[in-house]
Every structure is written in structure tokens, then in C-alpha cells.
Structure 1
Amino acid sequence: MRIFIREHLKKIFKLYFCYYSILISISFFIINHNAFAESSFNKNSKFISLNKYGDYLAGSYASQIGDAVYAAKYYKNVLEVHPKNYELKIKTIKLLLIAGKVEGAKDLYNSLKDIDRTEEIIKIFGLTIDLKNNNYSSAKKKIDLVSNEGLGRFLKPILKLWIYAGLGDEKQINKLINEINVNSKFTSFNNYHKALVYDLINHPDTENVYETLIESPETRSIRAIQSYALYLKRVGKKDKSLSIVNSYLKQNSDNPIIEHARYNYFNNNTQRNIISINYGFAEVFYATAKALSEAEDFALSSIFIRLSIILRPESSVSYVLLNEILEQRGKWDLAIEPLKKIKPNTPLGEYSKIKIARNLNRLSREKDALKVLNDYLEINPESAKVYEALGDLFRSQKMWNKAVDNYNKAINKKRLINQKDWRIFYSLGISYERAKKWQEAEPNFKKALELNPDQPLVMNYLGYSWVEQGKNLNEALKMIQKAVMLRPRDGYIVDSLGWAFFRLGEFDDAVKNLERAVTLEPEDSIINEHLGDAYWKVGRFREAIFQWRRALEFGPEKAAIPKIKLRIEKGLTKI
């Protein structure tokens, strides 16, 4: 649903007042038990006082549903009355970091005592504060407090390596490098940071370490390739440097991170990816955030990417990752903010504007989305990707002719059409078909299949369209069967197969597949209608009427409603 309503906030306030009502009702019990009241709610107790319990409950609920901003706000209200509640301080610091309220988190951190007994992530936050202030001696003491287990096992050796680099202690750097790869499960990660440290301190073995990294696909990363290429360019090996870039960071890759790496290579005046010790720490936190995000630990990944941004606030790729993490949590409005930090006249600038527009569209702010894309075209009128995004925007609003116009502009702006462009021809085909221009739609679906012959979405759409028109039925059936084989759990594709059997008069096979489609997509109106039709054809009349009634419940298009009602009233044989 594209209409965005902050229902969770309504629930917070509902809970807030609900619990206050409960507390008022039980307060008479508490008053009549003074000893209990005094021991449970005095200001030095670990319990929360009565007048702040509503805030605590609201904060807990907000935290549970992933709203860090409001959770932190309510917990801070509680801390005004209970400033010594250590556990609540820790929770609030983490929530403030997730929400990007770094100064608030820093203030609370500075009020903590006994840092050694707190959570590892809080220790690492304290370490980050020291790093930001270039206080490496204090940072070294804090890293010693971090556990050798869990995340500490992964992070501690590399953080120590960068701290020694910050202290200029080459003897300790060499000693630690000899230790960290012994029986380590993180050899590739360690070697990458070994290369970065060597690069920064101009160690004679830098090139060998980089070379080892990019030899294997398992250890070769965009970041490592970029850093190595810049190193080679800096030391005068420009031909080798350019060869590496063109081999591994190919132009027009359709990967914005690769395009960004190429842009940095050709426009990086410092000729270094990591230009300072703090950038090294930021790189560690970035990699950690990415790994945690892929493991769907969104809370910790949010904190680590915020720590990375503290130390390297101009890093575009960090803002891209933060955006991805917020989108994974469905925070479309918050996900827009980090993208605004990215400069528009860069490869990631184009990418960020498109993503901002998509999120605005999800928030039902279509006019704002349109403005973002049109404003970008003022800067870069040749952007095929932005015209494609405009096509997507108009298609989502069912403005088929405008979608067609923009998809065609996108195709005309492309210098080269290749396999990955199947999607734009598929989208153009859909827009033509929905605009009732089948003669124009069909060639675009065929072009999409020419570019990507085994694309199940295209095979399904083209096959289903042929079935609906009663043409090429045998070819359509084979095409849809192949699509089902490739995506067996896609209810819409399974529905197409069932409907193809129906149109061929093979009603038992139709029922079998349409029943499965309804299981996969139980609330789709069209699939329920199709199953009703198939039931009627095999004599299961009551079940047919039941499915048609369900089809009416699940939001059919206006034009379909009279047709479904007529089926319920008269069945199929009398229509």
C-alpha cells in the first residue's frame, strides 16, 4: 500500500494512555501498601516511578516496532527522573545512535561510570569518540576493554592495528600483523586492512599484499581494487593501474558502487582511498555494518554505519549503505535523509536522486518525487536512468501514456542496449498493454526475451496476454510452464499456468494449478476469480460461488466488479 500512515505512532499513544489508565486503577492498591510503594518507586530504586511509567512503556513499544527516534525520546523522559538508571542509559545510547542523534548519545555516554562493565558496542562508541578527537592513547586503553569474544574477536585485532598506525608504532604494527592471521577465520579481511595500513605508512610490501588480495575472487572486492589501483597510479605504475581498473571496474556496469569507484579513480586528487587513520577505522566499521546488514541485524548494522560516518562524514558509499539498512526496515521517510548528503554531480548522485524519488512515491508524495527527477534532468538531461525512473513513477500511478513516453526517451538516450536492459523493454511492454496498445506492446516483450531468454516475469506476462487473447495457446502454455519451473513459488505465474489450462479446456489441470496459486497468493482478487471459474467448469458450484465472493472482498478493479457479481448471481453457464 502506497499510502503511508504512521500507525505505529497511534499505537504508541494508545498504549501510553491505556497503561496510564491501568496504573491509575492500581494506584489505590499501591497507596494502601505504603511499604511496597516506597521500596518500588523511590528515586534511588532500579524500578521506574509511577509518573514516568507511561513514558517507559511507550518507549519499550516504540523500540519493539523499530522506531528508534520515539523510543529514545520516551526513554530520555524517564532518565530525567531516573538519571542513575544504568541499564536504561545503555538502551538509550544505542537507540540514539540508531536514530543518528550522535551528540545526544555522546552526552549520555559521558555520564556513564564503570565503562568496563558495559556492552561491547558502547565501548566501541567511546573508542570512536576518542578517534574523532585523534586521541589514540585513550583509544588504545578503550580497545583493551573490548572482549575477545563475539564481535570483539573479529574487530579487536584490526582496531588495534589501526590504533598502532595512529600512534606511529611500526614495531607493534609488524608484530600484530604477524599474529592476526595465525589460525584466523578472517584472513581476507585482515589482509585487506594490512594492505591499507601498509599503503598509508608507505611500507615496501604494500604492492605484494594488494596483489595477493585481488588474485582470488574470494578476496577481491571493489574497495580493494580501487585502493590498489590508486596506489599503483601514485607510485608511477599508471599502465598497470589503468589495466586493473578496466579489468575489474568496467564502465557501464550498471552497479552504482563500481561507477562511483571509477569516478573516484579518475577524479581523486589525493590518489589514496584511505587518506588518514580515522578513514581506516571508518572502513572497518563500514565493512562490519555491511556484514551485519546482510545478516539482517539491522540495529547493530545501523550503529556501525553511524560510527563509520562519524569518522568519515563525506563518504557517499556509507550514506548509500545507511539508506539500504533503513529501507530494509521499511523506514522510507528516514531512508531519504542520508541520500541528500550525496553530491548530485557524481554517479552516486544520479542513483541517490532515483532512490529518493522512489521513496517519496512510496510515501504517496508523487509530486515531490516528480520534482526530484525533473530537477536532476536540469543538471543531466542525458540521463537514461532518470527517464526510466520517471517511466516507473508514471506506471505506478497508472499513467500509461506518460510512462510510455519516458521509457522510450530512456531507450533513445542509451548508447548501448545490452542484456540488463530487458527490464526497460518489459516495463514499456506492460505500459503499452495497459494503454490497450497491444500491437506496440508485443514487440517490446519479445525484445525483452531476446535480451534475456529465460526471464520468468517476461515469459509469464507475454504468455498470459496470449492466453487472454486466445492466441498462440500452445506456445503460451510452454512459455508459462518454463516460467513456473524457474519460479515455482510465484503465485501470479502459477495462476497464469492454471488460466492457460482453463483456456485450453483442460479444467482439471486448471483447478490443480489455480488452487496452488490461491495458496501462494490467497488475497488476490483475480486469482480467486479464476479459481471460481475453474470450479464451476468441473461442477463444484458452491465452491465456485465462495471463491467469487472472496474475489469481491479483495479489492478487484472497478470494471471487474459487475462481472463477478453476475457470476455469483447466475454462474458461468448463463452468462
Structure 2
Amino acid sequence: MDLAVRGYAEAMAADPGNVALALRTYRQALEAGDTALAMRSARVLDQSGVLPRDGTLLFVLDALGRKDWNAARKLADRLKVEGNFAFLSPFLSSWISTVDGPYSAPAVDEKSQFGALTARYLDEHVALQALARKDVAAAKPAILRALSVQTSTLAGLRIALARRLVALGQREDAIALLALDDPALRSTKLELANARQVSELALTPKQGFGRILARLADDVGEGDSRPLALALARLASISDPASGEMRLLLARQLVLSGYADIAVVEVGKIQNDSPWASAANNLKIAALAQTGKSEQALALARDTVARSEASAAQYLQLANLLSEMQQFGPAVDAYRAAQGRFAKGAVPWSLYLLEGSALERSGRWSEAKVALDKAMALAPNEPVVLNYLGYAQVERRQNVPEALLLLHKAQALRPEDPAIADSLGWAHFVAGDPRNAVPMLEKAAAGAPGDATINEHLGDALWAVGRRYEARYAWAAARVFAEGDAATRINGKVRSGFRPEFAAP
């Protein structure tokens, strides 16, 4: 990305009025965080009337950073006219009014197209603005309303509110906001509880507006609008470059957008004493793994859990890394360590499933069965558990009638899942019932046509019922994606038909 940005900068210098070039330059510079280059190319686009709508948000942050309130107000009006981000205009105007009064709280039309979305953000900004104006009485009910309608912890919001409450002499209320099981909240709670005095500056309009961009990036990122989510996250980081919270948000969006190498650089900018240091460390491990630096990721994950305060999530991250690297024995130990971080009887079923999977893949089936039985006892209606336990027994030709019952239940709970359809069809085949196996395996192959295992299973079942031409076709499809021993076995069936030594496991 850095190399691309340098190239675009040189090209823009050579041909500063080229609109097509400016558009590419703008997008790449914004994603890379080169604010000066993004602004330069955005102005070219704006003069030609083709500025992307998020470019107006960049202009907003520039005006707020220069404290040009008149320009910022004009941009608030422009947002209304342009439409795409019109719902942000009331928040922008309101933040401006906190420093260039008279103060006016943000007003949201809940009946508008984006009313329900922006109503979620309303009370948190009313609360932050009240604290910016040192109006604790107005802030407290807004804080309660803001947190009561959310389903996540909103650690960043809680920390921002708590710091400013302590600065205004409301330590008890601030500590209460942080009483949740989250590393960032625990860190901040300890800091604020022990600090004699906290001098926290009020949020500037630029920082305040950046907070809504951050929340919007998270919300947009849950869908398929990845470029917009990344642009919003970068804009949020521009609004408050010193904020570890904004840096972490940006790094997360970079990882999701396939820029894991840049994410590693971004999390490296978060200070070790930041409340976000633990989350940054975890994200760095994931980013290193995504870039193919598995050994570095593993070394960092091991170092992380070596600390006495390592959490279940950190042990889980280590265990998953080890599993991906096919180090199943150490992975089992890490999964069990993660389980040990929970109170008795509170271990999630997913941890037993993951432990069972690692044990099964390492050849320790008797231990795996115990772990998988624990998972099923806790989650008797989870299709993934039913499927794994059922199929693992079918593979070993153990308890096939009982395994069939598990797989029928899984299929009833998730009828469109090709993996479950394959498991059930193959279980029927193993049980000596190829006629009932074929429809299920055909359904599975239709849902996952590129799966070598499913196509091989279908070919074996078709051969058993006498549909031998179709069987060879299914095996040929399986051969396209098969590797290693499976490829050798399937090639033999394509050439010579089914033989006992070619049977699928």
C-alpha cells in the first residue's frame, strides 16, 4: 500500500488535474492514511464535481481540525444536500455548537430513512456533549439511556464517559460504568480507582464527530460494505490520531479488508500502557497469521499466555493457531487451559468441541469422544456438535445406528447444510443403505460442488446402486480438487471402477 501511495503521489505531481488519476489516488491515500495526499486529490475531484461522498467527511474533519466553524457549518448543510450522509449533519452541527454556541443538542428524525440507525447513537453524543459542557446533571440520564439500548459492552464509550466523569468529580459513577469483564475496562478501572486526580480534556468537535464515524464503521462493517467501512475507520483515526481505540478500530477493518500487514503497523502504534494494549496484541497475532507469518504469530501467542493474567480468549487464540499449524497435541493443552479459566460448570460447549476436534485429528479418539460427549451434553441441539460427533463415529464404523440418529437430528435442524447432508448420506451408505444415501449425497454435492469428499462419497453410493456412468462423473469431479492419498484413490476409481481397496474412509 505504501508503495502504491508513493506512486500515486508522483503521478499526481506530474499530472495534477487528471480526474481519473485523482480518484484512484484519493481512495488509496485515504486507505493508507496519507491525509495530505487524500485532501489534495479530493480537491481536484471536488472541483470537477465527482468527489465521492465520504470525501465530504474528510473536508469536515479538516475544517474541524482548523477550528473553522463557519466552514464546518457549511459542510453540515452540504451533507444534507448530498444525501448519503445527511443523517450525520445534526451530530456535526451539535458538536460545533459545544464550542461555538449557543449549544443545540442533536435532533434526529426517527421516521427518516436512517432514523433507527442514528437514534442508536443519539444519547451517547448527548451524554458526551453534556460532559464537554461540564453539565453532569444532563449527562447522567443520557448515559443510562445510551447504555440501556445496546447489546455490546461499548468499551470505548464507557471509557470515554468514565474518564470525563472522574475529571468532573464523579468517581463512583465512573467506576460503575467499568464494572464489566473486558480487558480495556479492567485496565481503566484500576487506573481511575488509584489515580488521585484525573485531568481529562473535553472532547473536541473533531473527536466527537470522529466517534460517530467509528460507530458507523463498525455497523457498516457487519455487512458487505467493506471499502466504506475501511474509509470510515480511517476517517475516525484521522479525527483522533492519539486514540488507541480509533487505532484498534482501523486495524480491525484493515485485517477484514485483507490489509493485515498494514494492520500490524497500526497496532504497533498503540502504547503498552494503553487500555487497548491487550486487544491490540490479540489483533496483531491474528494479523501476523493472516500474512503467513505463522511462527511469529505463534511466538507472540505463547508469550501472551505465559503471563499470569492470560484470559480464556488468549488461550483459545493460541490453541486455534496450533490447530491450524497441525500441532494438535499442544493445541489440546491450550484448549484445556482455556477451559480452566472458566468457573466450574461455565465452560462453553464450543471449547469442548474444539478440544474434541484436536484430539480426534491427533489420533486420540477415546479422549476425543469424551470431549465431544461433553459438548453434546451442553448443546444437544447444536447441529455442528451433532454432525461432528455423528460423522466421527461413522468414519470409524462405530455406533453407526446411534450416529445416524444424531445426523438425522442435525439435518432436521439445518436442512440446507451440505456438510450435514454429506454426513447423513455417508452414514446411510456405511450402514448398508446406498439407496437412501444417494439423494442426500446428491443434495450435498449440489450445495458444495467443489468439495472432493462429498463428490467421492456420491460416486461410491452411485456405483453401489448401479448408476456407474454417473459414479465415474462424480469421481471425476472429486478428482479436480483432491490431493495426496485421496487423489490417488479417486484416480484409481475413475480408471477401474470401485474396488474395496479404493473405498473412501
Bin of the TM-score, shorter chain as denominator length: 0.7 to 0.9
Distance 1:232 1:267 in 2: 14
Distance 1:222 1:515 in 2: 48
Q: Which moved more, 1:300-309 or 1:380-389?
A: 380-389
Q: What secondary structure is seen at the aligned counterpart in 2 of 1:166?
A: coil
Kindly state the Cα deviation for residue 90 of structure 1 after the two structures are TM-superposed: 4.5
Partner of 2:471: 544
Kindly state the Cα deviation for residue 346 of structure 1 after the two structures are TM-superposed: 6.1
**Cα distance change of structure 1 residues 385 and 466 upon mapping to structure 2, 3 Å threshold:** same
Partner of 1:489: 416
Distance 1:273 1:291 in 2: 28
**Cα distance change of structure 1 residues 142 and 465 upon mapping to structure 2, 3 Å threshold:** closer
**Pairwise mapping of residues 479-558 of structure 1 onto structure 2 (< 5 A)?**
479-556=406-483, 558=484
Q: Deviations over 1:235-261 (max 9, x none)?
A: 666666555554xxx32xxxxxx4424
Q: What secondary structure is seen at the aligned counterpart in 1 of 2:99?
A: helix
2:277 aligned to which of 345, 349, 362 = 349
Kindly state the Cα deviation for residue 159 of structure 1 after the two structures are TM-superposed: 0.6
Q: Deviations over 1:209-239 (max 9, x none)?
A: 3333344458995555555666666666666
**Cα distance change of structure 1 residues 213 and 460 upon mapping to structure 2, 3 Å threshold:** same
Partner of 1:161: 94
Q: Which moved more, 1:108-117 or 1:430-439?
A: 108-117
Q: What secondary structure is seen at the aligned counterpart in 2 of 1:151?
A: coil
Partner of 1:200: 132
Distance 1:485 1:281 in 2: 48
**Cα distance change of structure 1 residues 72 and 240 upon mapping to structure 2, 3 Å threshold:** closer
Partner of 1:299: 227
Residue 148 in structure 1 maps to residue 81 in structure 2: yes
Q: What secondary structure is seen at the aligned counterpart in 2 of 1:532?
A: helix
Number of aligned residue pairs: 492
AA matched with 2:370? P
**Cα distance change of structure 1 residues 279 and 447 upon mapping to structure 2, 3 Å threshold:** same
Gaps spanning 5+ residues in structure 2: where? none
Kindly state the Cα deviation for residue 515 of structure 1 after the two structures are TM-superposed: 1.0
1:447 aligned to which of 374, 377, 386 = 374
Q: Deviations over 1:426-480 (max 9, x none)?
A: 2221121122111111111112223333332222111111112222222211212
Distance 1:111 1:527 in 2: 54
Task: Tell whether the 8 Å contact from 1:552 to 1:561 is kept in structure 2 after alignment.
Answer: yes
Task: Tell whether the 8 Å contact from 2:227 to 2:257 is kept in structure 1 after alignment.
Answer: no
Partner of 1:404: 332
Q: Deviations over 1:333-381 (max 9, x none)?
A: 3333333233456674334333333333333322222222233345557
Residue 458 in structure 1 maps to residue 391 in structure 2: no
2:122 aligned to which of 190, 202, 211 = 190
Q: Deviations over 1:277-315 (max 9, x none)?
A: 332122122123223323432223222221211222233
Residue 364 in structure 1 maps to residue 292 in structure 2: yes
Residue 264 in structure 1 maps to residue 188 in structure 2: yes
Q: Which entry has the higher C-alpha Rg, 1 or 2? A: 1
Gaps spanning 5+ residues in structure 1: where? 1-67, 252-257
Partner of 1:564: 490
Kindly state the Cα deviation for residue 496 of structure 1 after the two structures are TM-superposed: 0.7
Residue 316 in structure 1 maps to residue 244 in structure 2: yes
Give percent identity, aligned residues only: 26
Q: Which moved more, 1:441-450 or 1:187-196?
A: 187-196
Q: What secondary structure is seen at the aligned counterpart in 1 of 2:348?
A: helix
Partner of 2:216: 288
Kindly state the Cα deviation for residue 119 of structure 1 after the two structures are TM-superposed: 4.7
Distance 1:569 1:495 in 2: 24
Residue 79 in structure 1 maps to residue 5 in structure 2: no
Distance 1:261 1:115 in 2: 47
Distance 2:183 2:125 in 1: 23
Residue 325 in structure 1 maps to residue 253 in structure 2: yes
Residue 375 in structure 1 maps to residue 307 in structure 2: no
**Cα distance change of structure 1 residues 444 and 274 upon mapping to structure 2, 3 Å threshold:** farther
Task: Tell whether the 8 Å contact from 2:178 to 2:185 is kept in structure 1 after alignment.
Answer: no
Q: What secondary structure is seen at the aligned counterpart in 2 of 1:453?
A: coil
Q: Which moved more, 1:111-120 or 1:507-516?
A: 111-120
Partner of 1:38: none
Q: What secondary structure is seen at the aligned counterpart in 1 of 2:363?
A: coil
Kindly state the Cα deviation for residue 97 of structure 1 after the two structures are TM-superposed: 0.6
Q: Which moved more, 1:269-278 or 1:480-489?
A: 269-278
Task: Tell whether the 8 Å contact from 2:121 to 2:146 is kept in structure 1 after alignment.
Answer: no
**Cα distance change of structure 1 residues 441 and 211 upon mapping to structure 2, 3 Å threshold:** closer
Task: Tell whether the 8 Å contact from 1:123 to 1:142 is kept in structure 2 after alignment.
Answer: yes
Distance 2:12 2:161 in 1: 49
Partner of 1:470: 397
Distance 1:346 1:326 in 2: 20
